[in-house]
């Protein structure tokens, strides 16, 4: 049995990044870009107005204020998307809209609120310094500038910028195909009303949802029996995927054959059993170089193991460097007793109070109590040597969501 830290280290050491693929812009959202992006042109490409107002010669407005306005002749109106036709001469102004190109001769914009229209002329009520309310060419992005570095996660801002630069397609890390095999003679598929002695295979679905949530593509291989021959056949199919997940059959029961099969047809077995709860009977190895996680069968154990090991692994494969859930310190809302010697991942609800986070357990913590995962937005993580937490004591929590209950107050 090895520690969670050692197991994680071993798992991540086996991570090989996927290759790149060109995808269209929206498909790239949330993924990691594999190329540097340079600006093919200045943004903005030409000087344009930051306000609806009047393009003027700064010198003409010297000394102007509300009580002593300067009167200028309006020579044209320039709408966004249209080009100016006139040069602004001394004593003249051009009415201009936000985003429209600044006409020759003008070197400042006076916003409409600081003017008063008078038929064919306009009164300037302020003195406009040179450059006022003009957006200059390249002030956002300079031609040739590296705007996005390879390895960046493409957030909505990046997607907008790529659109600005005219990049309709970008190279991002491929999404790994993740084969999911649930094992157990007691399992029936979801459409079957389970007869006595049988249960519905739920792990396939919770795992598939977890795979989706971190960018992978789940490939459902259904149910494998507690039978070596059947498992060998199923794993032989599975090894065409990028990663293989199995659930069940890795414990010490008479019919737990997954790790035997991993040993027989696999060519590397890195570890079996991790000092954690839930999720102790985890096996990690590979078949023909394809990483294989032999996850435990209990519905909570399988999900906790996925969170701790498979999720960071899949993110790493997709080029992410931030692969761990955020953690924070919360106050325990209750007393917690735990056996020493293994790290615990307790299902919890974390809420934000005024200036602290409060964590409470979601109820029964058995590894078969899937309901404990339903409500949870976090794990309370208790280290191996801890055996007791008092109510009100600080605990480390790992967040499973970006938004917290009770955090619906604007920052």
The region of 165-173, 180-188, 260-268, 386-394 touching ligand AMP under the rule CB under 6 A is: 180-188
139 or 229: whose CB is closer to ligand AMP? 229
DSSP-derived 3-state class of residue 212: helix
Determine whether 94 is exposed, middle or buried from the number of CB atoms within 10 Å of its CB (0-12, 13-18, 19+): buried
Interface with ligand AMP includes 184 (CB under 6 A)?
yes
The region of 57-65, 167-175, 242-250, 392-400 touching ligand AMP under the rule CB under 6 A is: 242-250
Site string for Mg ion, 154-193 (x = CB under 5 A): ------------------------------x---------
How far apart are CB 184 and ligand AMP at their closest, in Å?
Answer: 4
Q: Report the alpha-carbon distance of residue 133 to residue 85 in Å, rounded.
A: 20
- CA 143: distance to chain centroid? 29
Are 325 and 399 a contacting pair, CB within 8 Å?
A: yes
Residues 246-305 that bind ligand AMP (CB under 6 A): 247-249, 251, 253, 256, 296-299
Question: Measured over all CA atoms, what is the biggest interatomic distance in the chain, rounded to whole angstroms?
Answer: 97
Q: Rule CB under 6 A: choose which of 182, 210, 308, 377 binds ligand AMP.
A: 182
Name residues whose C-beta falls within 8 Å of residue 344's C-beta, 6 or more positions apart in sequence: 276, 277, 338, 380, 381, 382, 386
Q: Report the alpha-carbon distance of residue 171 to residue 21 in Å, rounded.
A: 5
- Residue 3: name its binding partner from Mg ion, ligand AMP, none (Cβ under 5 to 8 Å by kind): none
Residues 282-321 that bind Mg ion (CB under 5 A): 297
- Residue 154: name its binding partner from ligand AMP, Mg ion, none (Cβ under 5 to 8 Å by kind): none
Interface with ligand AMP includes 202 (CB under 6 A)?
yes
Under rule CB under 6 A, how many of the chain's residues touch ligand AMP?
19
Interface with Mg ion includes 249 (CB under 5 A)?
yes
Say how many C-beta atoms besides its own lie within 10 A of residue 16's C-beta.
10
Task: List, as one string, the DSSP characters of 123-150.
Answer: EE-S---TTTTEEPTTSSB-TT-EEE-T
- Residue 296: name its binding partner from Mg ion, ligand AMP, none (Cβ under 5 to 8 Å by kind): ligand AMP
Q: Rule CB under 6 A: choose which of 48, 115, 174, 203 binds ligand AMP.
A: 203
How far apart are CB 247 and ligand AMP at their closest, in Å?
Answer: 5
The residue written with tokens 């999911």 in the block is 180
Name residues whose C-beta falls within 8 Å of residue 383's C-beta, 6 or more positions apart in sequence: 343
Site string for ligand AMP, 328-367 (x = CB under 6 A): ----------------------------------------
Under rule CB under 5 A, how many of the chain's residues touch Mg ion?
4
Are 294 and 283 a contacting pair, CB within 8 Å?
A: yes
DSSP-derived 3-state class of residue 306: helix
Expressed in angstroms, the distance from the first to the final Cα of the chain is 44
- Closest residue to bound ligand AMP by CB: 297
Interface with Mg ion includes 248 (CB under 5 A)?
yes
Say how many C-beta atoms besides its own lie within 10 A of residue 321's C-beta.
10
User: Which residues contact Mg ion (rule: CB under 5 A)?
Assistant: 184, 248-249, 297
Tell me which residues touch ligand AMP (CB under 6 A). 182, 184, 186-187, 199, 201-204, 247-249, 251, 253, 256, 296-299
């Amino acid at each position: 049995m090895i520690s969670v830290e050692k197991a994680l280290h071993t798992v991540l050491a086996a991570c090989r990044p996927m290759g790149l693929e060109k995808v269209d812009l929206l498909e790239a959202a949330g993924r990691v870009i594999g190329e540097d992006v340079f600006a093919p042109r200045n943004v903005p490409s030409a000087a344009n107005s930051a306000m609806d107002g009047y393009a003027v010669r700064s010198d003409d407005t010297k000394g102007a204020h509300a009580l002593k306005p300067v009167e200028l002749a309006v020579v044209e109106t320039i709408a966004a998307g249209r080009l100016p036709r006139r040069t602004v001469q001394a004593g003249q102004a051009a009415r201009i809209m936000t985003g429209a190109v600044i006409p020759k001769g003008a070197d400042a914009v006076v916003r409409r609120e600081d003017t008063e229209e008078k038929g064919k002329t306009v009164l300037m009520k302020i003195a406009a310094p040179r450059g006022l309310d003009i957006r200059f060419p390249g002030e956002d992005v300079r031609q040739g500038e590296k705007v996005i570095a390879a390895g960046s996660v493409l957030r909505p801002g990046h997607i907008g910028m790529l659109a600005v630069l005219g990049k309709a397609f970008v190279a991002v890390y491929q999404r790994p195909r993740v084969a999911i095999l649930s094992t157990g003679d007691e399992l029936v598929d979801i459409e079957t009303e389970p007869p006595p002695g049988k249960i519905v295979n739920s792990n396939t679905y919770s795992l598939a949802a977890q795979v989706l949530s971190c960018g992978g593509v789940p490939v459902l291989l259904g149910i494998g029996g507690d039978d070596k021959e059947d498992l060998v056949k199923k794993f032989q199919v599975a090894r065409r995927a990028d990663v293989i997940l199995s659930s069940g059959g890795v414990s010490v029961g008479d019919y737990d054959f997954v790790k035997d099969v991993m040993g027989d047809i696999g060519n590397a077995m890195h570890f079996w059993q991790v000092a954690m709860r839930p999720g102790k009977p985890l096996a990690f190895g590979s078949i023909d170089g394809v990483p294989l996680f032999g996850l435990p069968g209990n519905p909570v154990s399988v999900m906790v193991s996925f969170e701790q090991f498979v999720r960071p692994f899949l993110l790493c494969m997709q080029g992410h460097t931030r692969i761990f859930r955020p953690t924070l310190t919360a106050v325990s809302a209750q007393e917690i007793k735990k056996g020493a010697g293994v790290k615990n991942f307790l299902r919890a609800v974390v809420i934000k109070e005024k200036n602290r986070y409060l964590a409470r357990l979601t109820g029964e913590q058995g590894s078969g109590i899937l309901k404990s995962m339903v409500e949870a937005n976090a794990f309370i993580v208790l280290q191996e040597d801890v055996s007791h937490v008092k109510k009100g004591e600080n605990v480390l929590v790992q967040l499973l969501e970006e938004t917290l209950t009770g955090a619906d107050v604007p920052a």
